[in-house]
Structure 1
């Protein structure tokens, strides 16, 4: 298992599991988890593996409330602050490479809300929860960035709904037969994201993956 580091935030320690490829990284990809889930969700693990093989450093961030053992998510402001603090630490360790942020569900919302503030080059939003189930009037579409290239990947059976690409910076791909968990074909979901990362110029040569490197080693290769 990849070593976990704790990074102190104003709302408690956050956890970081970081993997990097062999050789200089092409970009830094930072991913957050769903509200009641963790960073070992199938879609996040599949994306980690695909991104590593494409030459990206991949960091999966556990929010303080989850690291403390709570399932109920913290308020949005606390999530955003903790995420931003972790991102500042990771960027300092991996200077000189583009930053792509993302996550699934709640983690996707955090990444979208803070994309401008952290200077992200792109956003990957897996299972973006457009609205609470059965409440389409409570749309969260306004959280999608308008100035940062954003990829939304949702299932066509997601009860939380699927956004539409209302601005040119947002691309939406709907995965057939998938629900909110995106568990049916995580490798296919990862392939979709990898194509988008490649089109953005955020990948390197293939088959460079290597795991088991601690977060402090990232700066050595950057």
Structure 2
């Protein structure tokens, strides 16, 4: 079985930040992820739409393709394991560069579980799968931004909102925002989802750069 794969959409020599995109999947599925799968392709389209923003802000924009399609385990979820591998690769290439994780559906849950990596400064969740009781300790000291369609039938906007509310005392900052009338797959209101990612990443990176160097920020 092939291992996880990193697809790089922008590759600045000296990036100011790294944005790692994480795609969705299924609760149980050990089949390999393929480029034809909608969950991966959806985030590949998002990555393409973010290229101009990433280039303008000297961001290394990368999409992870997991080894298998499913979450598969509560104690050792497959996509979390792959995300930690990806973070190790990216931070070895660019030590000290802040990372923002951007995940859709299962990718949002994965991002929240992997947020405790020392390089990660924030998580952007798009219609994230965050079931009741989802552990949230990894989000401590990070920025959390969640956007969820109000008529999502695949993942619960109420559950993701509850996760954000539970995380407010742990996170540096945590917000939840609805997209009225939107479902799960980001097909409608596509520009709304993209702008949310751009605005959230900019906000997170500006805030963290101000914490370290008050006179610097991101355009």
Same fold (TM over 0.5): yes
- Take 1:52 and 1:156, find their aligned partners in 2: how far apart are those partners? 32
- Take 2:200 and 2:102, find their aligned partners in 1: how far apart are those partners? 13
Q: Secondary structure at the match of 2:19?
A: strand
Q: Does 1:33 align with 2:23?
A: yes
Distance 1:31 1:179, change over 3 A: same
- Take 1:27 and 1:147, find their aligned partners in 2: how far apart are those partners? 18
Distance 1:128 1:40, change over 3 A: closer
Q: Does 1:161 align with 2:138?
A: no
- Structure 2, unaligned stretches of length 5 or more? 27-38, 207-216
Q: CA deviation at 1:100?
A: 1.0
Q: Is the 8 A contact 2:146 2:176 kept in 1?
A: yes
Q: CA deviation at 1:95?
A: 2.3
- Take 2:13 and 2:86, find their aligned partners in 1: how far apart are those partners? 24
Q: Which has the higher helix share?
A: 2
Q: Is the 8 A contact 2:9 2:47 kept in 1?
A: no
Q: Does 1:86 align with 2:86?
A: yes
- Structure 1, unaligned stretches of length 5 or more? 1-10, 66-70, 132-138, 206-222
CA RMSD of aligned residues (A): 2.6
Equivalent in the alignment of 1:75: 73
Question: In the TM superposition, what whole-angstrom CA distance separates every residue of 1:140-188 from its partner, at most 9, and x where no partner exists?
Answer: 5534723311111111111222222411621111112211111112222
Q: Secondary structure at the match of 1:122?
A: strand
Q: Is the 8 A contact 1:33 1:104 kept in 2?
A: yes
Count of paired positions: 183
Distance 1:44 1:154, change over 3 A: farther
- Take 2:118 and 2:22, find their aligned partners in 1: how far apart are those partners? 14
Q: Describe how 1:1-222 pairs up with structure 2 within 5 A.
A: 13-20=3-10, 24-35=14-25, 37-41=39-43, 42-65=45-68, 71-76=69-74, 77=76, 78-131=78-131, 139-143=132-136, 145-159=139-153, 160-162=155-157, 163-164=160-161, 165-166=164-165, 167=168, 169-202=173-206, 204-205=218-219
Q: If the length of structure 2 is used for normalisation, what is the TM-score? A: 0.72
